[in-house]
């Protein structure tokens, strides 16, 4: 069974489309992760991004999004209706398929530790991942907003963060990371501009004030619409259904002489929740999920039957015209041959040569790391192909297509990130091979030297790819972030390159020229 984890980070930005698109583009650029939903609200000044995929791919995207948000969002100038303590305000991991809650707890702690250690942002663990009972509920951590949290951290030793520094990041605040079950964000808008009414209704329906179990609620003002809203989170829809919550809010609103203007669901909602709501609202008897057309079609039996039907009738279909011969460039693209994929493959050969020599020399640590690097480089072969394919698809869209800029930005981000990672891995391979060179037998030294030269050539090619793709990247926010990250790795690059042109390579090259009688 495939393992799928969902992540639903909330960012304190709902008004700047460049920042929002940069965050969304990052999700789209990573293989093994699917963007499921993105929503933002200017009044709340908040964006919610939902994505899912393989556990460790999801964890990597989550960390990179926190990094990007810290670079692009400044809480010092932030004003919005929604409570918040961070640029990446809250980041929950949710088990979907083939993973346990404990798996998600481990992911939350791993990502939280990286955010704290590498980004220097204090991290508080919540819900199922909480290490302290007073931090289980998100609202307890956010009580009093950014200032309230800062005051508690300064005055109370019990409010030392789980990871990271003991004071807030000067622009990104703090981040709350955790693991939880699926949650439904449900809002009810009221035909009234009086915020006190929304707050009174929220107090009446939320669990903490004696209302409905598994319901969290606050009242907020939607200035752009001239309305107020009861904004809610349903943390267990099986125990307290969507229909029950709406009915309670509607009843309380009527008691205040206010009509409901409309409702909204932010992000995604489990299918069973909607089925339960329909069943209760329509008072259906003996209604089952298998009565839903799409669910029946998606059943294993239906898929198998449709597959057999398609297979048996294929011979009766009219033959299609032969595909015209493609140009050499088109054939290359169709085969998935890209500069980055060739670079990743070549670098993997360099790592493999090192793994072989390390094994023969019983250099266990080098063997393990080179083997890990080789595996990752082979994964990047397909990653670069996928990024290039997304760029081509985006460029085929009409210039006036509203999705063209975002899709192009996303594809180019992958076409930049992949060669950047290849460069960093090569910068690890070269010193590992140089270390082995000093202890290797003479007959194995040419293998190591070839590996070093391969990695050196790949670095040159991939750096050029990054530079060219940066020129085509339309999102200036992403460009600034990438340049900052590349600058951090610059010394690593300089050190690795210097190892390629110091003895024994000078004398070795001279000997080769003499042997080949090229001078």
Residues known to be catalytic: 82
Contact 413, 405 (CB under 8 A): no
CB burial class (10 A; 0-12, 13-18, 19+) of residue 79? exposed
Contact 135, 125 (CB under 8 A): yes
Phi, psi at residue 393, to the nearest 5°? -65, -40
**Sign of the CA dihedral running 79, 80, 85, 90:** negative
pLDDT > 60? residue 1: no
pLDDT > 70? residue 302: no
What pLDDT is attached to residue 503? 58
Buried b vs exposed e over 348-359: b needs ≥16 C-beta within 10 Å?
Answer: bbbbbbbbbbbe
The CATH number given to 330-516 is 1.20.120.680
Can you give the residue ranges of every domain in the chain? 4-179, 184-292, 330-516
Q: Which value, in Å, is the radius of gyration of the alpha carbons in the chain?
A: 28
Contact 215, 200 (CB under 8 A): no
pLDDT > 70? residue 336: no
The CA distances from residue 519 to 420, 501, 512, in Å, are: 38, 20, 11
pLDDT > 60? residue 308: no
The CATH number given to 4-179 is 3.30.990.10
Percent of the chain with pLDDT over 90: 39
pLDDT confidence tier of residue 385, bands split at 50, 70 and 90: confident
> Residues 220-244: what's their mean pLDDT?
89
At the fourth CATH level, the homologous superfamily of domain 184-292 is: Formiminotransferase, C-terminal subdomain (3.30.70.670)
Which tens digits make up the pLDDT trace of 421-465?
899 899 899 989 988 988 888 889 999 999 999 999 999 899 888
| Contacts of residue 134, Cβ cutoff 8 Å, sequence gap at least 6 | 140, 158
């Amino acid at each position: 069974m495939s393992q799928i984890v969902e992540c639903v980070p909330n960012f304190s930005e709902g008004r700047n489309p460049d920042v929002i698109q940069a965050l969304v583009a990052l999700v789209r650029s990573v293989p093994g992760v699917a963007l499921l939903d993105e929503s933002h609200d200017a009044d709340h000044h908040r964006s919610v991004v939902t994505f899912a995929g393989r556990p460790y791919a999801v964890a990597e995207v989550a960390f990179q999004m926190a990094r990007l948000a810290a670079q692009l969002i400044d809480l010092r100038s932030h004003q919005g209706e929604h409570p918040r303590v961070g640029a990446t305000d809250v980041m929950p991991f949710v088990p979907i398929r083939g993973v346990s809650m404990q798996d998600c707890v481990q992911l939350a702690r791993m990502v939280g530790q990286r955010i704290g250690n590498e980004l220097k942002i204090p991290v508080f663990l919540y819900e199922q991942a909480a290490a302290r009972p007073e931090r289980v509920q998100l609202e307890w951590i956010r009580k009093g907003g950014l200032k309230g949290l800062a005051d508690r951290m300064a005055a109370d030793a019990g409010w030392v963060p789980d990871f990271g520094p003991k004071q807030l990041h000067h622009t990104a605040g703090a981040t709350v990371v955790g693991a939880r079950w699926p949650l439904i964000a449900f809002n009810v808008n009221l035909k009234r501009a009086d915020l006190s009414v929304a707050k009174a209704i929220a107090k009446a329906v939320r669990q903490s004030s004696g209302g409905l179990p598994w319901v969290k609620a606050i009242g907020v003002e939607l200035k752009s619409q001239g309305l107020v809203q009861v904004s809610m989170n349903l943390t267990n829809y099986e125990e307290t259904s969507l229909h029950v919550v709406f009915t309670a809010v509607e009843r309380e609103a009527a008691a205040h002489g206010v009509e409901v203007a409309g409702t909204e669901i932010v992000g995604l909602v489990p299918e069973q929740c909607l089925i339960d709501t329909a069943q209760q609202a329509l008072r259906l008897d003996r209604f089952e999920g298998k009565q839903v057309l799409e669910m029946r079609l998606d059943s294993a039996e239906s898929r198998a039957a449709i597959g057999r039907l398609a297979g048996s009738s294929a011979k009766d279909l009219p033959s299609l015209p032969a595909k015209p011969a493609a140009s050499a460039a088109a054939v290359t693209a169709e085969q998935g041959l890209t500069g980055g994929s060739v670079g990743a493959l070549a670098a993997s050969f360099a790592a493999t040569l090192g793994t072989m020599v390390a094994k023969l020399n019983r250099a266990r640590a080098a063997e393990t790391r080179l083997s890990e690097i080789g595996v990752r480089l082979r994964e990047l072969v397909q990653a670069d192909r996928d990024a290039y394919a997304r760029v081509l698809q985006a460029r085929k869209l009409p210039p006036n297509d509203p999705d063209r800029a975002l899709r192009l930005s996303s594809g180019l981000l992958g076409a930049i990130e992949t060669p950047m990672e290849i460069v960093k891995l090569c910068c690890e391979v070269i010193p590992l091979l140089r270390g082995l060179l000093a202890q290797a037998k003479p007959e194995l030294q040419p293998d190591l030297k070839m590996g070093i030269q391969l990695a050196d050539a790949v670095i040159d090619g991939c750096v050029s790819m990054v530079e060219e793709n940066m020129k085509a990247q339309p999102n200036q926010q992403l460009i600034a972030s990438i340049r900052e990250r590349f600058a951090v790795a610059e010394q690593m690059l300089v050190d690795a390159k210097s190892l390629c042109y110091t003895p024994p390579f000078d004398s070795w090259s001279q000997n080769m020229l003499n042997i080949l009688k090229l001078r």
